[in-house]
Chain A
Amino acid sequence: MTESLFFFFASLTLLCAIMVVISKNPVFSVIFLILTFFTISAHYILLNAQFLAAVNIIVYAGAIMVLFLFVLMFINTGKNVEGTLKRNVLVKIAGTVAGGLLFTVVVAALKDVTLGNPDPATYDSQVGMVENLGKVLFTKYMLPFQLVAVLFLVSMVGAVMIGKRETGEQNF
């Protein structure tokens, strides 16, 4: 049951991810990306990590992708953006080089990978539950957790500074 569900969601994830890349309309790309997040959340639920699944939906599907849509709706007025990039050799070369480098990195990473082999006898299936996750975050990983919070604060201040309109004539 779990295995067939996994293969179902995995193929769905791949399909949606491919559709993100090959969709002509950027708005459709965003919608497929949202669907991809949903299927990834389904994987989290299969792994018994409900908190991650919910947070993935809230943060990525619920907030970040809305901002993506925002930007797209403002800049894209239904015109085909692709036409401006077509037949530009430099773009094709850059794309090929970047894709090849990514492929190399993925192959290199997968070559040395060893699957963690948890012992079924001692493995705690509740490890992904909210309580356990919270305990680990606030005891074992306290410092990184706090540092991430500081990082977020810094980026927030930065965003406010960029968005703020300064007084004076030449600064607006």
Chain B
Amino acid sequence: MDSVLLIYKGIYILAIFGISLLIATYSTYFERKIAAFIQDRVGPNRAGPMGLLQPLADAGKLFFKEEFIPAKANKMLFILGPGIAMLVAAMSSAVIPFGDTLIIGETSFDLIAIDVNIGILYIFGVVSLGVYGLMIGGWASNNKFSLLGAIRAASQNISYELAMGLSLIAVLMLSGSLSLKVIAEQQTGFNWNIWYQPLGFLIFLICAFAETNRTPFDLPESEAELIGGYHTEYSSMKLGMYLFAEYINIFVVSAVMSTLYFGAYNFPFMENLRNAFDDPVLGNNVVTIIGVAVMFAKIFAFIFFFMWVRWTLPRFRYDQLMKLGWNILIPLAILNILLTGGGILLYEYFTNG
């Protein structure tokens, strides 16, 4: 019994890891397709049907490129940088609930890799470690432009982490739990957190863009001013790892946003559907499977949104970025906490007497 669950967990973790890699791979393809659509081009269409093998071709190209390590660079840290970026990106999807429980025979399987009661703090901690990959890589390159890019990236990430954490607190006040599983369970049906936390969601969304270094906050790698940011000196698959880690981060952040604000695997009328089946086990399983599909649909919608914004908005200037983070988002997040607290008090006052 225990060993069954253990083997299941192992397979599940591997599956989530594989899925996040697959989604990240095909994000590169869809990014180019969407860019092409927005700019009225065709996009990649040579490798395979509709260019579907393009990510494989890209990976092959990156692997065969020259592996270059600058003279006087700190070799060990230079190699460690992209490794840390990749490791941290792949670690964070562990606590996200991709679905409810599946019941097979007598055993119920939770569709979550590890259910810890500090789930959101775990994600927060792992995200805050993501800076090291960039900083160590940028510093070890022994290049002033790389260093400047790394410093920019780090200060941007630190600044936006604060507003992100403050906007999260409002959600936690509503849910009363740090576990992502509990937060997902509370949003049954159409009772999503976005209806209670529109301002918090907006702040979180903006911070998510900044944390993943996406346009309009892609200053760490702004080609025009910094040549290429922290990965100026990187070539071959090490560069590929940095770019890949960014796409994994987009996937994880999309999953977190769907879980926290858009009801995770919950969809409208799910209880009606569950009750429509005579067999409760079958009903539960059908709802769970549809829920997983709904969760991934939400994630894909967010990934599309990330790409849409990238090809629509221009980049911020650095002082504007800092001003937005410190002078606007943090006060707004604190205001959001106050509003949420007031709302909860009022709600309790009116419901309890």
Contact = CB atoms under 8 A, between A and B. Distances in A.
A70 interface: yes
B289 interface: no
A56 B3 CA distance: 32
Contacts of A63: 128, 158, 161
Contacts of B147: 73
Contacts of B154: 66, 69-70
B243 interface: no
A58 B118 contact: no
Given A61-B129, A66-B131, A66-B132, A54 B118 contact: yes
A58 B124 contact: yes
Interface residues of A, number: 22
A167 B72 CA distance: 43
A70 B124 CA distance: 20
Interface in A47-94: 50-51, 53-55, 57-58, 61-63, 66, 69-70, 73-74, 78
A58 B139 contact: no
B117 A62 contact: no
Contact of A55 (B72, B121, B132, B142): B121
Contacts, number: 65
B77 interface: yes
B135 interface: yes
Given A66-B135, A73-B135, A73-B147, A50 B158 contact: no
Nearest to B128: A62
A69 B151 CA distance: 10
Nearest to B165: A58
A34 interface: yes
Contacts of A54: 118, 121-122, 124-125
B131 A57 contact: no
A57 B121 CA distance: 10
Among A34, A53, A73, A129, residue most surrounded by chain B Cβ atoms (within 10 Å): A73
Nearest to A28: B77
A80 to B, nearest CB: 13
A73 B134 CA distance: 13
Contact of A50 (B116, B132, B150): B116
Q: Give the size category of B's interface with A.
A: 20 to 34
B118 A130 contact: yes
B256 to A, nearest CB: 15
A69 B135 contact: yes
Contacts of B292: none
Interface string A16-37: 0000000001010001001000
A58 B128 contact: yes
Contact of B142 (A53, A74, A78): A78
B124 A50 contact: no
Interface string B170-214: 000000001000000000000000000000000000000000000
B121 A58 contact: yes
B77 A27 contact: yes
Contacts of A66: 128, 131-132, 135, 154, 158
Contacts of B161: 62-63
Contacts of A78: 72, 74, 142
Contact of B129 (A55, A62, A70): A62
Contacts of A31: 136
Interface in B94-122: 116-118, 121-122
A20 B128 CA distance: 22
B125 A62 contact: yes
Nearest to B123: A54
Among B129, B136, B147, residue most surrounded by chain A Cβ atoms (within 10 Å): B129
A28 to B, nearest CB: 8
Interface string B62-93: 00000000001010010000000000000000
Given A57-B129, A62-B125, A73-B147, A129 B77 contact: no
Given A57-B125, A62-B129, A73 B117 contact: no
Given A66-B154, A69-B139, 7 more contacts: A27-B136, A50-B118, A51-B121, A54-B122, A58-B125, A66-B128, A69-B136
Interface of A: 25, 27, 31, 34, 50-51, 53-55, 57-58, 61-63, 66, 69-70, 73-74, 78, 129-130
> What 4 A-B pairs have minimum CB-CB distances, sorted nearest first?
A62-B128, A54-B121, A57-B125, A58-B125
Interface of B: 72, 74, 77, 116-118, 121-122, 124-125, 128-129, 131-132, 135-136, 139, 142, 147, 150-151, 154-155, 158, 161, 178
7 contacts: A34-B132, A50-B118, A54-B118, A58-B128, A62-B128, A69-B136, A70-B135
